[in-house]
Amino acid sequence: MILPAKNLLAEEASPYLQQHSGNPVHWRAWSPASLAEARTLNRPILLSIGYAACHWCHVMAHESFEHDGVAAVMNRLFVNIKVDREERPDIDQIYMAALSSMGEQGGWPLTMFLTPEGKPFWGGTYFPREPRYGRPGFIQVMEAVDKAWREKRESLGQSADGLTAHVEARLAGIHAKATLERDTLANLAVGIDGMIDRDLGGLRGAPKFPNAPFMLTLWLSWLRDGNISHRDAVLVSLERMLAGGIYDHIGGGLSRYSTDAEWLVPHFEKMLYDNAQLIRLCNWAYAETGNDLFRIRIEETIDWLLREMRVEGGAFAASLDADSDGEEGLFYTWDRAEIEAVLGDDSALFFKYLTLSKPHSWEGKPIVHQSASQQTESTADRERLGPLKDRLLAARETRVRPGRDGKTLTDWNGLMIAALAEAGRSLNRPDWVAAAKTAFAHIDGASQDGRLPHSMLGLRKLFPAMSSDYAAMTNAAISLYEATGRPSYVERAHHFVEQLNQWHEDTGKSGYYLTASDSTDVPIRIRGDVDEAIPSATGQIIEALVRLSSASGEIALQERAWNVAEHAAGRVARQAYGQAGIVNACALAIEPMKLVLVDNPDDSGPDDSGLVPVANRNPDPRRVDIVVPIGSEANRPILPGGILPPTDKSGAWLCTGQVCLPQIIDPEELKRLLRRGHANVLP
């Protein structure tokens, strides 16, 4: 099969691929037909992987892929395939692991050279068109690869075979299962704690990423074992990043990472998954500390989400670009004169609470951020600062907006739906829960033959879903069940797990593959064990099985979760830092927590006058909360040991594993118990 000698990306569902549809490069999307073309021509594949919000992807596109001379070399020597890493995380993880195995630093754009069979033999990340930054020019690279392909094909083939085998063993291998140990979480938390920057938060050095899986490891260690140092590491990290330029102080929301150690200069792209995890972390931090900073940042971030990220149908877009009008951060940065022009005499009040800085390494306009004292003052004086931000936000809306990747990714939306449902419960915001319900219904309603899509853009849908999609939507369903009490969400969670089992479970029933069994275009079927900016697919699956077993009381689900966790623990033993999501999920499997509340679910006033509001205001990532209205016999959950709680009067039962504390009837007693969450609540 030989495809037309032209660019074939115009009809793709990915905005990132569509961005490249006008390139003179004869791009193909990743598909069986594209791979077949390479085999027919016996020509190596040039694979370029990126995403719509990636700054250096845009740089390489402008320098090389839009250049007729570079494109002519690409078209003459290679079959050129462009991949959106967000649409195809399976393809991205395979070739990123290959690059890492070559001893190279990973990143995007990922540029890999493959045999016609799709086996990697050399690669890198960004290459400039002309030699600079200590990197060879892209044409030089391609001509050197072509020369090696023509003159040393046999040795390149052997290298590609060995590299592919190594990647397969690393990403898809089978290991003996390990016994689940409480010490695994504690040891990982101690190791992460030793890497924390005690003054600036986050991991020491630069660049600085939010690293939500690591933050969750520390938080779980605090909740379970009472290690205050681990709690404080999370709180300091949140406070510092929320003061820095990585946070959008005018419009809300977090950028992907900062290029420096002070959280000051971000790469300005905003990703849905970062902000979903920020909302969850701030929700737990607010419950623990009562610091209004965290509540305010939740409100601002959700305001941004609902204002700028909702797509038709009510689900959420993937990301916002770092660049606007060809300049990184232009939409978000201000000089003093611009602020004074908008605020006039109120400018002095604005600069009391916020600072403009332009570090030496930054070429754009100054970046808005706060000192620690300004953060404290602005939290206390929010009513004075808020209207000023609103005026600047209105002025900012007249600027050229950064591009939005409007595709709806099922797994990322699942993370955000869970975050909205949980924050809506905790902060008594039924409008946030309603937004979560709408997004959930939109994605669930896009199923075909019972199967979820992985990605949607308008009417275009990319099937089949990844295992991470079913896991994230299962967790989202359980969070909505907790927030609404509707058993239909548990039914949908069961359906997602059934689909996960049908299409992704391995033959030994020891775990799951990232891609479905009927996916025909993957060179290696990987498990999805490795964390990226979000927990791995395997970590999310274990969490989903644990949470669904707690919600439903099904022993078989609990046993399946335990089995999958043991096998995953065997694979994670030597690389826990890259697979913290699995360690965190295994900790949930060891000691799942379930709180059954018989109470009036509508009694959620401003005071802790009932059991339900107490539970709502004390969230715990280890716990599944089930509310049964007083007097109701329908859908009454079974406590461990097959006991049915009485529903003739209010009461609460807190269970860890198969052991429950005695019934609690006093809201104050429940509050004291849940706020002892850092201690083991059971004897």
Please give the distance of CA 9 from its chain centroid, rounded to a whole number.
27
pLDDT digits (tens, 9 = 90+) for 117-158: 999 999 999 999 999 878 899 999 999 999 999 999 999 999
**Residue whose entry in the numeric block shows the structure tokens 């050399």:** 122
pLDDT digits (tens, 9 = 90+) for 503-551: 999 999 999 999 999 998 999 999 999 999 999 999 999 999 999 999 9
- Amino acid at site 398: T
Using alpha carbons only, give the angle 392, 393, 394 rounded to the nearest 5 degrees: 90
Residue 682 has pLDDT above 50, yes or no: no
d(CA 611, CA 604): 9
pLDDT digits (tens, 9 = 90+) for 237-249: 999 999 999 999 9
- Segment 15-32 mean pLDDT: 96
Residue 606 has pLDDT above 80, yes or no: no
Residue 488 has pLDDT above 80, yes or no: yes
Asked whether 324 and 400 are in contact (CB, 8 A), the reply is yes
High-pLDDT (> 90) share of the chain, %: 89
The pLDDT assigned to 299 comes to 98
The pLDDT assigned to 678 comes to 46
Confidence of residue 605 (pLDDT cuts 50, 70, 90): very low
C-alpha dihedral, 645 to 649 to 651 to 653, nearest 10°? 0
The pLDDT assigned to 603 comes to 54
Residue 62 has pLDDT above 60, yes or no: yes
Q: Which of 502, 505, 523 is nearest to 513 (CA)?
A: 505
Confidence of residue 602 (pLDDT cuts 50, 70, 90): low
d(CA 349, CA 49): 46
Q: Is 337 exposed, middle or buried (0-12, 13-18, 19+ CB in 10 A)?
A: exposed
- Segment 183-210 mean pLDDT: 97
The pLDDT assigned to 609 comes to 65
Tell me the backbone φ, ψ of residue 314, rounded to 5 degrees. 100, -5
pLDDT digits (tens, 9 = 90+) for 555-567: 999 999 999 999 9
Kind of pairing, strands 323-324 and 460-462? Answer: unpaired
- Amino acid at site 675: R
Residue 604 has pLDDT above 70, yes or no: no
DSSP type of residue 105? P
pLDDT digits (tens, 9 = 90+) for 292-341: 999 999 999 999 999 999 999 999 999 999 999 889 999 999 999 999 99
DSSP type of residue 662? P
The pLDDT assigned to 677 comes to 52
- Segment 44-58 mean pLDDT: 94
Confidence of residue 681 (pLDDT cuts 50, 70, 90): very low
Structure tokens at 298: 């939740």
d(CA 338, CA 323): 19
The pLDDT assigned to 676 comes to 65
- Segment 375-399 mean pLDDT: 97
The pLDDT assigned to 627 comes to 94
pLDDT digits (tens, 9 = 90+) for 637-649: 888 888 889 999 9
Confidence of residue 683 (pLDDT cuts 50, 70, 90): very low
- Segment 488-494 mean pLDDT: 98
The chain-wide mean pLDDT, for the chain, equals: 94
